[in-house]
Amino acid sequence: GPTRELVQQIEKECEKLLPGTGLNSFAVFGGNNYADQKLALQQKQTDILAATPGRLQDLFKDGRVSLEFVQYLVFDEADKMLDMGFEKPITQIVTTLDLPEKTKRITAMFSATYPPKIRNMAKDFLRPYNRLMVGHIGSTVENIDQV
């Protein structure tokens, strides 16, 4: 996710969904003690890692995270990541870290908009993909009152 807040929200949802599955999740993001995050990652198996791009790169460079066995890679709010200048880190994560090639993993991108940059990322990072649109572009939601 692009922000600490979104990564924390993802982790909170994982905590609700994972009990009884035997899976563990963990969130890493900037603005939090890096040493504590590294230590916590060493102390438990992490099946689902929610991370901001920069913190993920830091952990990889320090040898604390391997992406070698990633089966699912998800970019949430991909359009916001690009707006915030994360295009280069995202590209580095997908192309230079030890991720399995795109034909050996499932990659999902979620985006509120579908500008050319997102379309290009989808072509580059996803195997042949499907685009799913919910709602209508530019439409308003009828059950929300403006106050």
Per-residue model confidence as pLDDT tens digits over 22-68: 999 999 999 888 999 988 888 888 999 999 999 999 998 988 888 89
Alpha-carbon span 94 to 100, nearest angstrom: 9
Regarding the domain delimited by 4-125, which CATH topology (the fold level of the hierarchy) does it fall under?
Rossmann fold (3.40.50)
Q: Where are the domains of the chain?
A: 4-125
Q: Strand, helix or coil at 100?
A: coil
Entry pTM? 0.81
Give the mean pLDDT of 94-115. 87
Give the mean pLDDT of 11-22. 94
- The answer to whether residue 129 scores a pLDDT higher than 80 is no
CB 63 within 8 A of CB 97: no
